Amino acid sequence: MQINATLIGQALAFLILIAFTWKFVWPPLLGAIEARQKKIADGLAAADRGQQDLDNAKSEALAIVREAHGKATQIVDQAARRAGEMVDDARGTAATEGERIVTAARNEVVTETARVRGELRAEVAKLAVAGAAQVLKREVDAKAHAALLDELAERIVAR
């Protein structure tokens, strides 16, 4: 192989091309590659943070759901207890009201019985006077013999 001016010119042109590339082309190329690597690394880091945030959010959501379920159970239990209390209160009120109604009815029966007995005494007295009048064949004065007639009515009713 012969070394001639063409070979030296080509070698010199190649060295100038290498120097130009080294000085002007290679730094922006390396900068772009490094920027791309940094962007990819940041994206992967963001994806990892996003995955961690998602896992944390899932854990928090699960805790919130458990807490809500616990509160719902507690509210249902409180409602059941309150309903039981209301039923017991209603029973107590109904029992009290029932006793009051029974007492009032008994008092009314006693009052009515006394009134009817009074009416019965008066009726018996009238019947006794009418019977005595027929026996004696004359009119008996009810006002004059009121005490006697009341005593007679008492004996009849007491039996």
Taking the alpha carbons at both ends of the chain, their separation in whole angstroms is 166
Residue 13 belongs to some domain of the structure: no
Question: Helix crossing, 146-158 with 26-136: angle to 10°?
Answer: 120
Which residues have a Cβ under 8 Å from the Cβ of 76 and sit 6 or more positions away?
none
pLDDT class of 126 with cuts at 50, 70, 90: confident
Residue 84 belongs to some domain of the structure: yes
Q: Report residue 49 as tokens.
A: 């943070």
* Residue 157: pLDDT over 90: no
Which residues have a Cβ under 8 Å from the Cβ of 154 and sit 6 or more positions away?
121
Residue 139 belongs to some domain of the structure: yes
pLDDT at res. 70: 94
Residue 124 belongs to some domain of the structure: yes
Q: Whole-prediction pTM value? A: 0.43
Total count of domains within the chain:
1
pLDDT class of 159 with cuts at 50, 70, 90: low
pLDDT class of 35 with cuts at 50, 70, 90: very high
Cα-trace Rg, the chain: 60
Chain centre distance of CA 14: 89
Residue 120 belongs to some domain of the structure: yes
Identify the domain containing residue 97 by its residue range: 49-158
Q: Report residue 12 as tokens.
A: 């010199």
Residue 1 belongs to some domain of the structure: no
* Most confident option among 25-29, 141-145, 146-150: 25-29
* Buried b / exposed e along 96-122 (16+ C-beta atoms within 10 A): eeeeeeeeeeeeeeeeeeeeeeeeebe
Residue 146 belongs to some domain of the structure: yes
Residue 82 belongs to some domain of the structure: yes
